[in-house]
Structure 1
């Protein structure tokens, strides 16, 4: 029963600094239950339910915090009831079963508290058998902490024993509560005004100065812009050997378990995130003043412990740093965490917890074994004669990204829980971390002097999986043959088959071989031999293929030079490679220096010269280790660098390579520019497997209809495209690739939106994500895209005879899900960089996993999925932080690409002024910066919303088909909102409220509330005033999500017009049928009613004392009108097909019965009235029969009545009660005044 008091308060006091954030949270997230604290225990003793109830009533009497409610007046205050208010229910559940009991307790845990009305403490006693009960208590954290739990449980044991035995004398074991929570509030205010308080303020200001690190644990899901606080709980116990080793280490070092475990947790987060600066929040019980040791309430304070990791930091060094840090912070532990956030302006983005995102709690009980918190159900302990054991509860909320709860049980074993944010982590990831954490602790304690960076996280089985199972790529390919031999095998097998077709001509394998042989003999006479570099400057055409094959057959290596490149770049490449011979055409060769001998395949003189050469195959002079080509790629110094690729590297790319199947029936498009490594896949993929090659002219490639016609006309089977070019083509015609068998996209991260369009339009097409740097010969991994993706399409696993590793800076393997650098091994690893031994030594390193082999450090940031597939996350050198947050521009681009009016998007980080990094979005499509900013604000955290939005007709592409970021224009002032005065009435009203609150006169509509000094408490006050000014409901979260005057005014205007935006569809009246659907909350209550029929558990009894000249007939008429007005009051809950449904009854005239007690003596009247109220409250409702509301009047005396009303919770809640009372009174006044 919920015992309602008359709401007589004995005191009104301010909130403690620690309580203020709870009210801010409630304003921002109404009815959120993440601060419900829920605990349960088995009790293996005989119990008397009434005595249990009375024991808890005594506890509520003893501690004013349990009689407190919270009211928002000018400032938030807390008020203390004079009488105990307890929500207690005793339920027989012997036949429920374990699952039903768990569901019931979970439902009770997730029911929100009404902070302004209370009670904020409820107790459930479930009787499973005569000597087996489950005691379940739920409290709001604003009145309660872990110390309070231990005190409350201990007092329950003592009081139950005393009351059950009838011992009315005060038990000497029950400590007197000398100081209440209001005394603590007063003490805290004095402390903050004292010199010690000012010293602590300065300490924390210095400690939290500078840019605070944001912990970036490996996320499985995108962080939502508005947190739901959905959580999970993963319990675990350290292995016995690990617990023993930990205890022995603490004893040896004379260190507390708390500090050693915190240091281990820091070290683990450091290895998991790769970050060198981390803040972890850890609680202090806030009772350093011993006067409060016997007081309940929210005394806890959070201490942000900030650690910086030096290079090669060992655990021994870290432990000393943690020891020193905790010692310093503990001296100032009473300075409220909420003031740290407020005074230093640390709350900026509502999507991420302020200051720290990871917590650490070593559970300690002031009265009992710590097992009352996390212990398992077999750990039975004595509570003043009662046998208790913890009852594990399912956890559905999380306040931080990750919190480690730890306790040491009496037997020395260490049990723990990871409480994690379900919005960003999967349970299987947390389970992996648990295994890694145990292994990590064990390894660290064996190597306390070793650098933490060298401590391995993976077990031997996990290393075996990564090194062997996911890198088992060996295939029987012709690794000892060279390109010339394999090509000539195809010539011999199919001399009349078509080899290459361009706009002007077609060459068979025999014809191509003849022309290549003549060029080869010519080149050999000019001194070409193995390792000779020969330039070739010809666009996609049959001539290009003749040139490439001729150079290779001569034994040389070709150096491709794209004729579209600037002359300066071409000249640099020719000089850097030491080119003495150049194969080219007349057109486009004017840049070639006179010092370089040219062979122009289209000049009459050179054609005559070549015709005199032999058409026989020249002898094979090369080995698999000789250079095949030198491909120049962009360099960090501004000059391109040449990558030397060997013959075996190329053969590994296209023979038995384990991705797309090559065959003689292939018709391969050549889309790659000569200077782009994808051309090697196209040329050699076709010619070394007997297929046909179709070079596509540049103008055709950029014209979607022309390209589609080309594909259809030549019946192409296989094509490769850069991701940006693919996106542009899909925007024009997503079905244009339908005739292909295989389409590989690469060169940049793929756009899921565009890929999904092609999957829908061409379901028979095999669509591949092809990844690979030039340094590992074109493709390193491939992934067949077999379904739609919302983000991050995997790049797959290594292709044949290749290996891939995800490592940290020390080249140790990273666990699944943990980002790291991708390193590539196997037969695709190129020789190195031409003429750059230092750069080669830096990037081409010894493979620590395979003796005697090398691997290439890509500089790409990737992670492994649980199935072994890799996901590309971006370039490591492009990883940037803005305002402390790591930015992934690909995530922003992917979100923009989903906007219905945008065709293309590119987001870059600009630093046009030193030290000022800002995001700029370059967009192709229709719309405005205002529209796009609002779109992103609803879907991404605020720090990921670009400063600039630049609209363009098209995005510039490089000759290789990638977006040319250097050609993107510098954003102008017009693409960023500078100062602008309020224009609309809504903007003026919002500006006036802000100005008054913040004390700032001139506020522009693009200024952020929080940049101007706003914080969560001021946000609450601002919203309260906005509600008054606009006369409508405004949520605090709206201010966090729309922090500028312009965006908030637009939001408020939308709400005033009845709109809720895309995420919240407008409320619409629906047709009334016989059966109406139920809400989720109603389904839960119906389910509980099915478990225990005829139960009054969810009755809501209300009573009001009416004094004065009340007109009962008018009261009855108002009651009847009220029920006619609200169909919820005429609703019953039936069942259809096993599911609950709402049935709305037709209105029938309602009477208000009167029970007359005036004939009784005064004391008897009061006693009988309370008895009637109790009987009414205990009387169950029949959900299917109804009605689900009952009311009556009790006549107590002349002009003295009690109005009782009982409703079932399934049709009524706390919000409804306020409406119910207001409307009943308004209707009464109308009827009483003769104005119905």
Structure 2
């Protein structure tokens, strides 16, 4: 059978196709990971610089370069850079056992490995992206005869050793360019779900980068926790996604609504069940669901089948892709309607690395063409559809990974103390898994075997059940009679003797682990738990018991007893009932609103808490469309139509936002004319101005009062505005801000956060005031006029500092800022303010309103402390602040009973935040919306350092109170922050107080400052 012939035409190389996208869509977003957003131009420049660094390290034509990263944007940059340098990438999972990694490194002959943060590979020189990032231009693309090697990917081998598959660039091009099963376009947004060493990532990464689409990268926790994945898909406007069949099944069973907003879902890696597809189509009949089949040896997909709504029975694997040849042959290699599937064409791999015998066995020539023997048993029906019926040998897919059972069995038999053993494939309604049966030496225990397997095999290749037997049953031929092996224990057991919390949790463990009796001392992971099982467990906890247990808590509390205790604390901490507050009914102020409301009552003309933003809109919009979208947002989000009556707030119905239209204006003119004081007794507390730039571009200016709005709210609002302008319907929020405000006020009243309050009162007892020298005497009454100075620092430098201390970029930057303040003031004990999200209930994550809390970080060191000591002190204080962030800052201030000083804010004179909201970009179809925060020329603190982390570097903006500091002093102070980062990077053991410092009125010669 040959339904799709090779065309014989020349296919451009991967780098050429990527450069076409850079030229066509230079400012389009190519890559997103959390706050990291790279345009095609930025991605090309960064990957080009790293490629130049690779060439300088000797990487050349088809050099194999290993790469070991967690799922991240950096991993994608490294992949692209290796290809641009002319090499072939070898993706390695850093969590794999050392023995397996060592084999892959030695077998591949790689002489260089690029590693992510905190990752190191033995047996090969290691480097990092930071070390490779040079100022050099990208190397000139090489000219090739034929198709160059793109990557080496190791798959399971029957000898117990994985084998390296050599995949060429022509296979990638055939997979993602002008394919007949799915065509990428520049408007697609794909969420990367495949592991980098899993060949689905080929489709995901290159499908985006070679077609101008956007690739979103999320961590394992997001992918494996159903509610987190649902939020990620919604918040990022994901349109297409690939999932393994087992994970797809879990998500469909948990909540088919997870897939709202998707246009296309590709599923494969194992058998796709009809009932899971039916659950999706019942909710989303227009959603395309495609079953994708194919071995790594034929570049990810060989056949596909778009599953229509309705239908019964099994699902076929479909028809071959274009430029793909398939044959169904019997044992004598004669054409047949039932037999083994052979495949060839442009996607075919070269063969196996350093294994010519296996290559000759698996890659055969038939009628003058090369074919790969898949080993899969299939049939072809009258319509030409191919149906999968299992393996010719005993290879199987486990959670999307191809596993040769003989490899696991080979490793099992090499374990110390295993006398006899065999491994079989078992299955139940949740999927396939491996079961092992062993006869052990007298001095060997079951835990000895499972512990050794854990050091030699990745989790998906390990048996989920290991059964100890006196002897293995044999058939008349002397082989193990697998039919007589006992079934793994999957029956339910009574747990009525356990305490209630443990009993409920044990029931869930038994379901997801396919286990029997669970004891309090049992370890979740020793019973066969893995990352997928964690995701399934957390989904059941949330759905059945309303408990949102953090992912990390499962790993920190592995036994049933410990995990049940963690669950009970999570329930106590998070799950107080939420009560709806109807429109028009006064409700309590949110604890974070009280201080802002009081400030307005004292100074109704202040602009200190205005939040002005500019939205740059590119694409087809009209003033009417903008007006209607704003009206719907105000209707959906009660915070935007809230007014204040005394000490309570009311959300009115029928409130509209007046949209003013204007000709082009500079930002400075907009701020002066548009940003005005709000009257908090009148709704809405938002105003809008639309400026037409040209026929395809508009600027929408929004000014919102901080009392009903925060940074997270801005992301929610702009994302939904983009959807509405593009004609996409948005969901109705379950809870509103009035509900959240009342809930938080009730929690303060009932003492839920009392322990957090005690922490702050103890930590901040007798707090120091920051005594900085100033250029001007401090006014008797505080003024808020301000200005801003800017400077840049390096992402890589900050990450080096953070990585060395085992902390975050936030702590590294805050440490540098604190060191400068300490040297300026001569104080060893200071307090610096910083924001925390304040969204202590997960159901409030999508609510627009004012939640952000202020943490007063008291950072103290001794006189001989080094810069490293300061970083560790800052790290500890910040961790404590996050743990206790629920208690309102205003209540902390009130509890401290500080004397009133009208010349300054209570407790805090300096503030720090690490932000990224000012360069958010939202895209939907032909529409693109970019966010820019504006500065209303005010400063609430003496000094406020805001760090904006961008792909090209960190922008530091120092807001300074102009009644205290001149611009020259602010610029000098900010320069000392970047100098301090250099010092932390190069000399972290320097003492904090090794030199004096001065600024402002105490000195006029900035060049003499030595801090």
TM-score, length-normalised on structure 1? 0.34
Q: Which has the higher contact order (CA 8 A, sep 6+)?
A: 2
Greater C-alpha Rg: 1
